[in-house]
Every structure is written in C-alpha cells, then in structure tokens.
C-alpha cells in the first residue's frame, strides 16, 4: 500500500472521504531520471470518482458554513506542515517528474506553502464595498459554488495543483483532485498533510488514474460545479464537451507559443541571459518565450552570444546541484519532442545547437536546441513543443515585431526586452497575451490575474479572480428601512 521513494513513504492509494481507498487496477509511476519504476499506483475510474464526488458533496454542506476565519486557519496549518516537509516533498517530486531538486527545495515547494497562506489571508480580506442605487443598498457576497474538480499537469504538479486547490478550499468549495498520471506522488503526500492539519473528511479528495478514465469521469460528473484544468488544447476540448451538458463553469490554462522580443536598444547581456532561461525545466514550461524575435541590427551578435551561453548549460541528473536542466518527463513525451525536431530537420531546417538526444546521458535527456529562421508556417514555429526547443527570427522594426509576435493562435505570455519605456508600453499594449514581462521573466505574484487568450485558455485566476471563479457571486439589494420593495411606505 506504500512505496518508499528516496527514503520517503508514499501511500499509493486514493484519498476519499478521509480514508485510503484502493482500486482493482494500478498504473506504474516511472521516474524520468532513469526510466525505472517507482511504484504501482491505484488507478481510479468512474466508481472512485463517484465515491469522491459524493463524499465532497456531503462534506460541502458543513464546509460552506465554516467561517472564513476558520477556513483560513486550516489553510495556514496546511502551510505550516508543508514548510516542515519541504525536503521530503522536494525529493519525491524530483524523482517523480525529473525537475531540478534545487528548484524544488528553494522555490517550488516553498511556493506550495505560499499558495495556502496567500489565499487564506486573501479570504479574510475579501470584500466589495456596498453601493447605493436610488437609496437602495447593494451588497456583494461570495457564496461557495460546491464541488470543484481540479486536474493539473506534470511539469510542476504540486505547485500548480495547490494554486487551484488553495483558493477552492478558501472559497468554501470541497475538492476532488485528479493529479497527473506521469507525476502523481506528491498529491498523495498532500492528502496526508491535509489530514494532519485536521481538514474534515470529504473536503479534500484525491483520485489517481488515467485522464481517459478518472479525468473523463470527473469532467462529466453531474455534481461537480467547477472544473479547473491545466494542460493541452485537445484535452481541454474533451473536458469542455464532457462538462457542457452540466453547464459547469471552466477555467483552462492551455500553454502557449510565446514571443520573446529583443529590440536593439535593450540591455544586451540581460536579454541573452533571460533568453537562455527559456530552457528552464528542460523546456517544459508553458510560459516560456520559445519564439525569439531579434531586431536585425543585433541579430548576428545576439545569435553568437546566445549559442556561446547555451553551450554552457549543464544537463544531467536533476538531483545533482550542478545540473541546470534534466530529462523530459516520459518516453512518450521525449518521442513527441524528438518528432517535432526530426520533422523540422527533414524539411531542411538545421538546428544551430542540439537537435537530438544527449548521447552522453542517454535515456530521456534531450539537448537544448535552437532553430534559426524556421520555415514560415511550419509546425516547429506554430505548435507548442513543450521541450528544450527554441526558434530564432529577426524583424526590421517595431510594427513587424508586433505582427510576428501575434502570428499565433496562442496568447499566454510574452517577453519584451527594450531600453525605451515608451516602446515597452506600446508593444505591451499591442501584443496579444495574458501576461507580458518587460526586461524580466517569471516575476509572479499571487495577486496577479493569470490566464491566456485564444488557444491559451479560458478565464483568469489569482487574487480575487480565483474567488470569482470558485464562488457564485451574489448581489443583494436592500430597500431603505421602513420602505417596501416597490418604494412605498410600509
């Protein structure tokens, strides 16, 4: 019933209604570090999802009546325990998804605790001032919507999961969480943490399994009142179709093909170093600026400096502090990334660096790759690869840079590197993206609205936007004291 992962015991069963629940079938969790099996995980489906949703619906009746202060106290307790277990969470997730251990220790797992603390505090401050309409007082309130189904990806499973779980719980919803099948283990550890924090049974549930089984069952369940999903466009379409008969509000974050725009007046070294950062997490970052657009006058200089820097990237075992990037998540994903690159090469495009597996490491390690001037309209330029593959193009002027940046069906993020504040404002306003960084990258705050345009998603989360999603926002109108609803004296 438990697996020992890097010295940490992890229960491989589901967490439903405050109890561990097994399944008749299992699936294997394979480490991308060496493609060795870590554990056999209980595989849930229609039955387990129904048990979890039923438990969550029953728990909702009391959880929604729990005061904001009490809900916040639970979330702070969860954060306390996460902080005490950062090392255990970090080593398990690194083994499970292949991301850098140093990043998990220093940033990702502390952010998990921060997710709970932030939304706990935001809940207690959540307020909309009353306003007057012809002498009638209008009051805005946030009513918990019910059971929230949350499905998140494998590239930062616990952090991205809790970014949705924390506001849902804070809002007074109960949760059924379907973690990614390629990296499910820290979700089980989170279930243990919520139990230790005293969260009532049924308020938080975890059902592991395949997307086509557990995910599909959760998406179409009639008692689910909110669905939050992070992942691919095809899967989002499937979820939306399954949820449509129940008219369930959706929040989708679906990745991107973001532009990284470099003007000649930029801080050159900053631009090069920030561009190199787009290889972070072996390219498995939805926000990465994978289309590097450089002004013609500095194109050659930028390309030369970028290649020199990229050759110093240290690829290796993510548990090694010296490693800068690790492997792709799975054999299937590795082959997907390889397929993009091989097809581009087959069409005559030559990578300036990389272009294939890291022969020194073998396994799932793919070399950081850069294509220069890919064929316009080619898939390597238009589709999300989600691997360490970047494309470099040049532009003549600001207008062309904006046109090239917007030549995509996605609209998640963008990076603008310029020394001209007025240009930064103009380009930011013109680029189609939910988030634009100027002379920086990955500066994030939970107060920010986060989400994408076009194929990059539906809706926004963060700060009050999260409560707008997980709650039914109610407006109550009160006639003046002593007056009837139609304005006449009683």
Domains of the chain and any CATH numbers: 2-254+456-476 (3.40.605.10), 259-438 (3.40.309.10)
Residues known to be catalytic: 253, 286
How far is 30 from 28, CA to CA, in rounded Å?
A: 6
Give pLDDT tens digits for 203-257: 999 999 999 999 999 999 999 999 999 999 999 999 999 999 999 999 999 989 9
Exposed/middle/buried for 239, CB within 10 Å: 0-12, 13-18, 19+? buried
Paired with 421 in beta bridges are none
15: pLDDT strictly greater than 50: yes
How large a percentage of the chain has pLDDT more than 90?
Answer: 97
Give pLDDT tens digits for 452-490: 999 999 999 999 999 999 999 999 999 997 555 554 443
**Token duo for residue 376:** 């316009």
**What would the mean pLDDT of 113-121 be, rounded to a whole number?**
98
| CB-based burial, 278-308: b 16+ in 10 Å, e otherwise | bbbbbbbbbbbbbbbbbbeebbeebbebbee
**What would the mean pLDDT of 364-387 be, rounded to a whole number?**
97
316: pLDDT strictly greater than 50: yes
Query: pLDDT class for 191, splitting at 50, 70, 90?
Result: very high
How large a percentage of the chain has pLDDT more than 70?
Answer: 98
Give pLDDT tens digits for 28-80: 999 999 999 999 999 999 999 999 999 999 999 999 999 999 999 999 999 99
Residue 96's contacts (CB-CB under 8 Å, 6 or more residues apart) are: 5, 29, 31, 38, 157, 183, 184, 185, 186
How far is 193 from 170, CA to CA, in rounded Å?
A: 16
Residue 145's contacts (CB-CB under 8 Å, 6 or more residues apart) are: 171, 173, 225, 226, 249, 470, 471, 472
What is the reported pLDDT for 488? 44
What is the reported pLDDT for 490? 34
**What would the mean pLDDT of 120-141 be, rounded to a whole number?**
94
How far is 307 from 425, CA to CA, in rounded Å?
A: 30
**What would the mean pLDDT of 9-28 be, rounded to a whole number?**
98
Q: Among candidates 211, 214, 218, which has minimal Cα distance to 242? A: 218
What is the reported pLDDT for 489? 43
Whether residue 147 contacts residue 225, with contact meaning beta carbons closer than 8 Å, is answered with yes
Give pLDDT tens digits for 329-345: 999 999 999 999 999 99
How far is 333 from 371, CA to CA, in rounded Å?
A: 20
Element (H, E) at 28: strand 26-30
Helix (H, G, I), strand (E, B) or coil at 324: coil
| Alpha carbon separation from 306 to 9, 43, 51, 275, 417 (Å, rounded) | 43, 44, 53, 8, 15
């Amino acid at each position: 019933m438990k697996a020992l992962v890097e010295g940490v015991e992890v229960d491989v069963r589901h967490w439903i209604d405050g109890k561990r629940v097994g399944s008749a079938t299992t699936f294997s969790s394979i480490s991308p570090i060496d493609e060795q099996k870590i554990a056999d995980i209980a595989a849930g489906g229609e039955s387990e999802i129904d048990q979890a949703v039923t438990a969550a619906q029953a728990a909702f009746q009391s959880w929604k009546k729990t005061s904001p202060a009490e809900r916040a106290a639970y979330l702070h307790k969860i954060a306390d325990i996460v902080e005490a277990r950062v090392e255990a969470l970090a080593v398990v997730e690194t083994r499970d998804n292949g991301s850098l251990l140093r990043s998990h220790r220093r940033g990702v797992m502390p952010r998990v605790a921060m997710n709970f603390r932030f939304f706990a505090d935001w809940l207690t401050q959540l307020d909309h001032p009353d306003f007057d309409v012809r002498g009638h007082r209008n009051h805005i309130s946030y009513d918990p919507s019910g059971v929230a189904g949350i499905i998140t990806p494998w590239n930062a499973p616990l952090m991205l999961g809790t970014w949705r779980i924390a506001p849902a719980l804070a809002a007074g919803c109960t949760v059924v969480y379907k973690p990614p099948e390629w990296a499910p283990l820290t979700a089980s550890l989170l279930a243990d943490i919520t139990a230790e924090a005293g969260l009532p049974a049924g308020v938080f549930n975890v059902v592991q399994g395949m997307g086509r089984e557990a995910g599909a069952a959760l998406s179409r369940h009639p008692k689910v009142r909110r669905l939050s999903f992070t992942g691919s466009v095809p899967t989002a379409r499937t979820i939306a179709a399954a949820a449509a008969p129940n008219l369930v509000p959706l929040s989708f974050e679906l990745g991107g093909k973001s532009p990284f725009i470099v003007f000649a007046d930029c801080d050159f070294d900053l631009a090069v170093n920030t561009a190199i950062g787009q290889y972070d997490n072996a390219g498995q970052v939805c926000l990465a600026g994978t289309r590097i657009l450089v002004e013609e006058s500095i194109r050659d200089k930028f390309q030369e400096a970028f290649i020199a820097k990229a050759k110093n990237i240290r690829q290796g075992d993510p548990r090694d502090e010296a490693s800068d990037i690790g492997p792709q998540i799975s054999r299937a994903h590795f082959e997907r990334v390889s397929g993009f690159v091989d097809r581009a090469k087959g069409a005559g495009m030559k990578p300036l660096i990389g272009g294939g597996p890291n022969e020194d490491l073998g396994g799932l390690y793919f070399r950081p790759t850069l294509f220069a001037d890919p064929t316009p309209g080619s898939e390597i330029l238009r589709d999300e690869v989600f691997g360490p593959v970047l494309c470099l193009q040049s532009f003549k002027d600001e207008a062309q840079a904006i046109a090239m940046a917007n030549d995509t069906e996605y609209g998640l993020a963008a990076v603008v590197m310029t020394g001209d504040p007025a240009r930064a404002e103009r380009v930011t306003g013109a680029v189609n993206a939910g988030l634009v960084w100027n002379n920086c990258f990955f500066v994030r705050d939970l107060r920010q609205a986060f989400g994408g345009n076009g194929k990059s998603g539906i809706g926004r989360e963060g700060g009050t936007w999260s409560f707008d999603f997980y709650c039914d926002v109610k407006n109550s109108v009160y006639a003046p004291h002593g007056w009837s609803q139609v304005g006449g004296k009683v």
